[in-house]
Structure 1
Amino acid sequence: MPEPKRIALLIDCDNVSHNSIEGVLEELAKYGMVNVRHAHGDWNSPSLSGWVDRLHPHAIRPMQQFAYTKGKNATDSAMIIDAMDLLYSKNIDAFALMTSDSDFTPLVLRILESGLPVYGFGEKKTPKPFVDACSPFIYTENLVVEADEKPNAVATRKAKGRNKLRGDTSLVKLIRTAIEQTSEDDGWAHMSKVGHYISNNSSFSAINYGYKKLGDLIRATELFEVEMRNDGKAMYIKDARK
């Protein structure tokens, strides 16, 4: 059994809310073990009080960065240096950057050049260049589960979004292209191959559309045929137009 992927999570506490950290860690658990957890910021600032309560329960190490000059973001520089130190250590297999700041886009590109994936997490205000550079990128608002939201309310919210899925031409084109590029001669494509193609060519994440899995999203569009094979262990999909 292969060793789990070692992931370094670097958090820009100045530019992202603490409310989604549980969801971020749960999502990263799908990819490997988050053995490095660094939260960058000026811990003397009252604005980080919400983060303080999240550090110990989730074994996150606070990285103090004083704001030496007013108007300058010292946290960005410290986080970039931290990332490069980890990159050169060669003890990390992947990075996760939790920030809504596009200034980290060059850092993402540099890490990708070294052959390591970068998982991005940020609020919906995050500029598109940073979103597009990561693979995948997940909006943190979609990782916050309201304590009083009942299952029926969740189902209703997803049902209302189905028409939007079918009307999202970019999304539909992405899925259709992935199926076309990975399908056999009969037009059927294995879900894992479709997922890999999409992750290698975009910052797409099904979570941003309200679904935990790509397969669930594809079913919801009702634009594709779905067939379970190998006693229900393998999912195959096909463009319903063909």
Structure 2
Amino acid sequence: MISPRLSAKIESDEPSMKIAVLIDADNAQAAVIEKLLAEVARFGEATVKRIYGDFTSPSSASWKKVLQEFAIKPVQQFAYTTGKNATDSALIIDAMDLLYTRNFDGFCLVTSDSDFTGLAMRIREEGLTVLGFGEQKTPAAFKNSCHKFIFTEVLRPELEKVISVNKQQTKTISDSASDVTKKIKPSFPKKFILDALEQSSDDEGWAQLGTFGSYLTKLQPDFDSRNFGFKKLSDLVKAKTNLFVIDHRETPGSSFKQLYIKAK
């Protein structure tokens, strides 16, 4: 079940959590770090930012360029033997040390490695929120152990071209953006979305957008409207006129309007 803190954050505009961001350099890309941290900021403040890996290795050269810019603390792990167990162990040990300080509301684990499934589950047992970031190849076990899992493919710079093209309904698209689309745009889960809407709606079939979005994440932590070419969930439901009826309702005592949706 989704964390109450995360559920509240989804429906709120203000960051509410202190988050420890732990990055597995062996299974993450430096190119997405700026947007990744911006995504974390939607949920709360990244009070700790650490990255684990062998920074003497040529494969880590891209990370060395961004660590100072984004105030990320590197934790050096020399590759004494083949494999990455030293990196994994160091990250897990640090995560447990941070967990026991009781200074955090949540953890952000940046990796595509299923070896961190147990860590995510342990953090959840303490009642803290777990955010996961990784590539689409990430095993389901790790994705489902997080309260919310975001594919790093949607954070890559090329995706902005894809979303822009999708909105303009034009066929002019760069080769790189086309490649990204093929990688990250799965088939639209119509049945899953309509089932979630039914479960989150009132007796008349209406659901407030925030409630609907929270329920989608409860059922499928890696659900993200950006996977289907839409920047926000509201953009998705407005575009799917064949599936949804929408209604903007004023909030009592406020001029603010909330979006409600209903299946056609």
Which segments of 5 or more consecutive residues in structure 1 lack a partner in the other structure? none
Query: How far is 1:147 from its partner?
Result: 9.6
Q: How does 1:55-134 map to 2 (within 5 A)?
A: 55-134=67-146
Query: How far is 1:43 from its partner?
Result: 1.4
Q: State how far apart, in whole Å, the 2-side matches of 1:96 and 1:202 are.
A: 17
1:176 is matched with 194
1:135 is matched with 147
Q: Which segment is superposed worse, 113-122 or 209-218?
A: 209-218
1:90-110 alpha-carbon deviations (Å, 9 max, x no partner): 111011111111111111111
1:214 is matched with 233
Q: Which segment is superposed worse, 63-72 or 133-142?
A: 63-72
Note if 1:186 corresponds to 2:198.
no
Q: State how far apart, in whole Å, the 1-side matches of 2:84 and 2:93 are.
A: 16
Q: State how far apart, in whole Å, the 2-side matches of 1:158 and 1:36 are.
A: 42
1:1-21 alpha-carbon deviations (Å, 9 max, x no partner): 987310111100011111111
Normalising by structure 2, what TM-score? 0.80
1:201 is matched with 219
Tell me the SS of whatever aligns to 2:246. strand
Q: 1:185 to 1:151 in 2, by over 3 A?
A: closer
Q: State how far apart, in whole Å, the 1-side matches of 2:163 and 2:118 are.
A: 41
Q: State how far apart, in whole Å, the 2-side matches of 1:200 and 1:180 are.
A: 14
Match of 1:228 among 224, 244, 248: 248
Tell me the SS of whatever aligns to 1:57. coil
Normalising by structure 1, what TM-score? 0.87
Q: Which segment is superposed worse, 20-29 or 196-205?
A: 196-205
Q: State how far apart, in whole Å, the 2-side matches of 1:115 and 1:200 are.
A: 15
Q: State how far apart, in whole Å, the 1-side matches of 2:28 and 2:149 are.
A: 14
Query: How far is 1:187 from its partner?
Result: 1.2
8 Å contact from structure 1 (residues 218, 224) kept in 2: yes
Identity of aligned residues (%): 46
Tell me the SS of whatever aligns to 1:39. strand
Q: 1:43 to 1:208 in 2, by over 3 A?
A: same
1:96-152 alpha-carbon deviations (Å, 9 max, x no partner): 111111111111111111111211111122222212222321111110113994875
Query: Aligned-residue CA RMSD in angstroms?
Result: 2.9
Match of 2:39 among 13, 16, 27: 27
Which segments of 5 or more consecutive residues in structure 2 lack a partner in the other structure? 1-11, 172-177
Q: Which segment is superposed worse, 1-10 or 37-46?
A: 1-10
8 Å contact from structure 2 (residues 162, 229) kept in 1: no
Q: State how far apart, in whole Å, the 2-side matches of 1:63 and 1:184 are.
A: 49
| AA at the equivalent of 2:244 | F
Moved over 6 A (4+): 157-161
1:155-212 alpha-carbon deviations (Å, 9 max, x no partner): 3579998xxx9963xx323322332222222211111111122222221222322323
Q: State how far apart, in whole Å, the 2-side matches of 1:41 and 1:52 are.
A: 11
| AA at the equivalent of 2:33 | I
Q: State how far apart, in whole Å, the 2-side matches of 1:60 and 1:108 are.
A: 21
8 Å contact from structure 1 (residues 142, 210) kept in 2: no
8 Å contact from structure 2 (residues 186, 228) kept in 1: no
Q: 1:193 to 1:72 in 2, by over 3 A?
A: closer
8 Å contact from structure 1 (residues 119, 135) kept in 2: yes
8 Å contact from structure 1 (residues 158, 210) kept in 2: no
Query: How far is 1:221 from its partner?
Result: 2.8
